[in-house]
Amino acid sequence: MVVETCLEKEKKEGATVTEGPLKIRKVSVKDVQFGEVTEVRGETLFLNPDDIRRELLEDKHLLSVDVKIARPGESTRIIPVKDILAPAVKVDGPGCVFPGFIGNPARTIAGRGTTAFLEGVAVVTSGRLVNFQEGLIDMTGPGAEYSIFSRLVNVVLVLEPVEGLGKHEHERVVREAGVKAAAFIGKAAATAEYSEETVYANETIPEIHSKYPDLPKVVYVRQVLAQGLLHDNFLYGLNAREGAIPLYMQATELFDGAIVSGNCAAPCHKHTTYHHQKDPISEDLLAEHGKSLAFLGIIAQPVRTAFSEKERNSFQVLKIAKSLGADGAIIAEDGGGNPECDLMLTASILEQAGIKTVIVTDEYAGGDGASPGLADISPYADAVVTNGNGNERVVLPPMEKVIGHLETIEVITGGHSGSLLKDGSINMEIAGIMGSTNELGMENLSTRAI
CA distance 382 to 265: 26
Which of 230, 213, 222, 116 minimizes the C-alpha distance to 174? 230
CA distance 35 to 45: 9
DSSP notation for 307-327: HHHHHHHHHHHHHHHHHHT-S
CA distance 245 to 389: 30
Say if CB 154 and CB 114 are below 8 A apart: no
Three state DSSP letters for 119-157? ECEEEEEEECCCCCCCEEEECCCHHHHHCHHHHCEEEEE
Run of H or E residues at 432: none
Residue 109 makes CB contacts below 8 A (sequence gap 6+) with 16, 17, 18, 94, 95, 253
- Spot the catalytic one: 6, 264, 268, 341: 264
What DSSP character marks residue 445? -
Residue 341 annotated as catalytic: no
Three state DSSP letters for 217-228? EEEEEEEEEEEE
**Does a cis peptide bond (omega within 30 degrees of 0) precede residue 80?**
yes
Q: Alpha-carbon torsion 251, 256, 259, 263, what sign? A: positive
Catalytic residues: 264
